Amino acid sequence: MNTKRTVILDTETTGISSIGPPHINHRVIEIGAVEMIERRFTGNNFHVYLQPNRSIESGAFKVHGITNDFLLDKPIFKDIANKFLNYIKNSEIVIHNAPFDLGFINQEFQMLNKNIKKIDILCPIIDTLKIARKLFPGKKNTLDALCSRYKINKSHRNLHSAIIDALLLGKVYLLMTSRQESLSFYNTINSEELPQKLNNFIRCNKYSLKILHPSKEELDLHEKYLKYMRKKNKCLWN
């Protein structure tokens, strides 16, 4: 049986182009990815800051707080490309607003001129924004809004961070899809095995239940209430 591996992915960038696709003329400066195996976080995460060889726009800086000086000694995308590809292979990838992040990442690989296929061809992509819009039509479905809706603590996050946002998105994704998993539970149990499985939880033969008897005052109050109900012709028991 194949083990289901899921990678939750997020990026931060130098900015968003006002003309054409958002990745045009801009670069990735942070990649954060969180691994889940069979819907459990493993701690095997991927996180890197990148030197983009261009300046960060002020609007983007207000979002993530990453400075040009901070990135001066960081690797360029070429240095981590193979490691990143090896990390995401044989996985489904979960992204919030997938076209945005995929546009940037695919552009980075295209600039290497190594004929590397697009990420969305190499791996199946799950876009949580699409899922959220189906679950909550007409509502705000940003990552912040979803965290608030699912009561996920994000007090430790003052600015956007690819690795922190990937972890938050992983928690959101689990909650968004938990109903599907719980329904599929019944399809994984053989009907002949179910009685035995239930017996493991039923132990009434081993333990006697404690009986709490009502006091005289409680019995009197109960009888008084029954008389009241009989007068209203609504008493179904004595």
DSSP label at residue 225:
H
12 labelled binding-site residue: yes
Rounded-to-integer distance, Cα 168 and Cα 128, Å? 12
pLDDT of residue 155: 82
pLDDT of residue 234: 55
Rounded-to-integer distance, Cα 216 and Cα 220, Å? 6
* Tokens of residue 135, six digits: 């679950």
pLDDT of residue 222: 76
Amino acid at 230: R
Q: Which helix (H) or strand (E) holds 86?
A: helix 77-88
- Which residues make Cβ contacts (< 8 Å) with residue 178, sequence separation at least 6? none
Q: Among residues 96, 160, 213, 222, which one is catalytic? A: 160
Classify 97 as helix, strand or coil.
Answer: coil
23 labelled binding-site residue: no
Residue 160 annotated in active site:
yes
pLDDT of residue 91: 97
Are the C-beta atoms of residues 88 and 42 closer than 8 Å to each other? no
Q: How many other C-beta atoms are found inside a 10 Å radius of the C-beta of residue 167?
A: 21
Does the predicted TM-score (pTM) go above 0.85? Answer: no
144 labelled binding-site residue: no
- Angle formed at CA 119 by CA 107 and CA 113, multiple of 5 degrees: 45
Options 3.40.50.12780, 3.40.50.1980, 3.30.420.10, 3.30.230.10; CATH for 5-187 is: 3.30.420.10
pLDDT of residue 236: 56
Q: What is the pLDDT along the chain (238 residues), one digit of tens a residue?
A: 578 999 999 999 999 876 667 778 899 999 999 999 999 999 999 999 999 999 999 999 999 999 999 999 999 999 999 999 999 999 999 999 999 999 999 999 999 999 999 999 999 999 999 999 999 999 999 999 999 999 999 888 878 899 999 999 999 999 999 875 544 444 444 444 444 544 544 444 455 556 677 788 777 777 777 776 677 665 555 5
